[in-house]
Amino acid sequence: MTIERFGAAPSGPGGRSLPFTKAVRAGDFVSVSGQVPMGADGEIIEGNITAQTQQTIENVKSILISLGLSLEHVVKATVWLADTRDFWPFNKVYLEYFGAALPARSCVRADMMVDCKVEIEVVAYDPR
C-alpha cells in the first residue's frame, strides 16, 4: 500500500512550523490532521464556540476539497472541546455541516494545546 502525504507543515501562531502534514492517504482512506479555528494568518480566530466551530470545519472542508473530497466522504470524526458546556452549541453547527451524511464520531473534553475551544480531525473514505 502506498502512503501519500499532502500539504507542507502548517505554521502556527508566531509563524512557527508545526511537525505534521495536513493529510495522509493510506489505501482508500484519508486522515486529516486535527484542525483548530486558525485563520489564514496562522492565528486562532476570536469568538465563541459557534464561530470557532465554523472556522474549524471550514479548515477541514478546505483540506478535503483540495484532495477532491467533501464532508460527505468523512466516515469518522474525532472532536475535542475545551468546555463541556459548549457541547450543544457545537452540535448545532456540526449538524449544519454534516447533517446530510453524519459520520461516526467521538467527542471529549480536553485541555487544548493552543488557546481555542475546539479541535476536529477526520478520516474520509476515497476508493480511487
Confidence (pLDDT) at 10: 63
Confidence (pLDDT) at 100: 86
Query: C-alpha angle with apex 51: 42 to 87, nearest 5 degrees?
Result: 115
Count of the separate structural domains present in the chain: 1
Give the pLDDT confidence of 33-43 residue by residue, as tens digits.
999 999 988 89
Confidence (pLDDT) at 121: 98
- In a 3-state reduction of DSSP, which class is residue 87? helix
Confidence (pLDDT) at 14: 64
The residue range of the domain holding 25 is 3-125
**Numbers of helices and strands, H then E, in the chain:** 2, 6
All residue ranges of the chain with pLDDT < 70 are 9-16
CB of 71 within 8 A of CB of 94? no
* CATH number, position 98: 3.30.1330.40
What is the side-by-side order of every strand in the sheet holding 74-81?
3-6, 23-26, 29-35, 118-125, 74-81, 104-109
- Give this prediction's pTM: 0.93
Confidence (pLDDT) at 110: 97
